């Protein structure tokens, strides 16, 4: 019996690797698409396709033999709005058009972001699907525009949009950098309103939601869901709990004013342009981390229709870093 094959764009990233393993364990065949050459470390049973998101014929070849798509590929960092627009909107538009010309494609799962919904000014006001999206960054605005592109899919292609907040887990490079700072005993605090609150989702919980959305896409068709542990945590609490797991002292956290962060971002971007790499910090990310509000959301809608259980932050950090 031929296995159903699924394409994962950005499949060699942090979330994509977990998702590929989940799909393999559930009996699916997996093809991952990436912009670069085939990575050295890739599961033996996974196909790799070097993709050009701005070449529709190339995308159609990537989709050959697949029954559905997980679209994870996105630009988190960029030098300007056009960088984000090209990677997050135009690439999604091209993928949608390619799907429309491949009759074998029946399901499209789009991994968006809490950034597409925006922050909330009051910790008591938690982002939910009923609130109008108000993204503030280039990244958030273009992820929301990417969501809109899915409305152009063929009527018979089911699509579901998931908006995770901060995703963490073992082998996560972003949290790994925070671990590095904690072990050094010093880190910059970029929160702007005393102690910002955040929502989190453990990577295996997100992957379970992605799998459920795919196999039950008819049930969730044309809907948007926030996916997270239904709790909110202050940044200081997160750093403190992570420090406990690492069995080290909570680091000294030094607040840096926004103008100084802009200077640091400028230097990162200048270095990135000179040495042709992605900037670790840019103006857009500074705008996100310095908002006078909170990056929090609720997954009540998703939980109400799936009964999915989510890992608590404390438990997830132990699983990730013990």
Domains in the chain, start-ordered, CATH in brackets? 5-165+199-230+298-311 (3.40.50.720)
The rounded Cα 233 to chain-centroid distance in angstroms is 19
Q: Which of 9-13, 176-180, 221-225 tops mean pLDDT? A: 221-225
The pLDDT of residue 279 is 66
Residue 202: pLDDT above 70?
yes
Structure tokens at 293: 């509000």
What is the spatial distance between Cα 102 and Cα 29, in angstroms, rounded to a whole number? 18
Lowest mean pLDDT among 98-112, 116-130, 274-288: 274-288
Q: How confident is the model at residue 280 (pLDDT cuts 50, 70, 90)?
A: low
For Cα atoms 229, 231, 237, give the angle at the middle one, nearest 5 degrees.
110
Q: What is the pLDDT of residues 151-179, one digit of tens each?
A: 999 999 999 999 999 999 999 988 888 89
The counts of H helices and E strands in the chain are 14, 13
pTM across the whole model: 0.94
Q: How confident is the model at residue 61 (pLDDT cuts 50, 70, 90)?
A: very high
């Amino acid at each position: 019996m031929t296995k159903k094959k699924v394409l994962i764009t950005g499949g060699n990233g942090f979330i994509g690797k977990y998702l590929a393993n989940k799909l393999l364990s559930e009996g699916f065949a997996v093809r991952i698409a990436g912009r670069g050459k085939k990575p050295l470390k890739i599961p033996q049973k996974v196909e790799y396709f070097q993709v050009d998101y701005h070449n529709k014929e190339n995308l159609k070849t990537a989709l050959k033999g697949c029954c559905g798509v997980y679209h994870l590929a996105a630009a988190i960092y960029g030098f300007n709005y056009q960088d984000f627009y090209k990677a997050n909107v135009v690439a999604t538009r091209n993928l949608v058009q390619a799907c429309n010309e491949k009759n074998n494609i029946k399901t499209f799962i789009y991994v968006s972001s809490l950034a597409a919904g925006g922050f909330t000014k009051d910790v008591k006001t938690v982002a939910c699907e009923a609130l109008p999206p108000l993204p503030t960054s280039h990244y958030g605005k273009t992820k929301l525009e990417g969501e809109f592109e899915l409305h152009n899919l063929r009527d018979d292609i089911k699509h579901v949009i998931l908006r995770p907040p901060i995703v963490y887990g073992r082998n996560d490079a972003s949290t790994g950098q925070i671990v590095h700072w904690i072990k050094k005993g010093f880190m910059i605090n970029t929160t702007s309103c005393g102690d910002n609150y955040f929502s989190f989702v453990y990577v295996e919980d997100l992957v379970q939601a992605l799998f459920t959305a795919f196999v039950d896409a008819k049930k969730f068709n044309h809907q948007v869901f926030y996916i997270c542990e239904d709790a909110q945590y202050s940044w200081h609490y997160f750093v403190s709990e992570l420090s406990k797991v690492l069995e080290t002292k909570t680091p000294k956290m030094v607040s840096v004013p926004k103008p100084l962060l802009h200077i640091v971002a400028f230097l990162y971007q200048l270095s990135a342009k000179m040495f042709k790499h992605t900037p670790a910090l840019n103006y857009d990310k500074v705008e996100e981390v310095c908002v006078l509000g909170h990056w929090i959301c609720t997954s009540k809608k998703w939980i109400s229709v799936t009964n999915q259980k989510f890992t608590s932050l404390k438990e997830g950090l132990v699983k990730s870093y013990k």
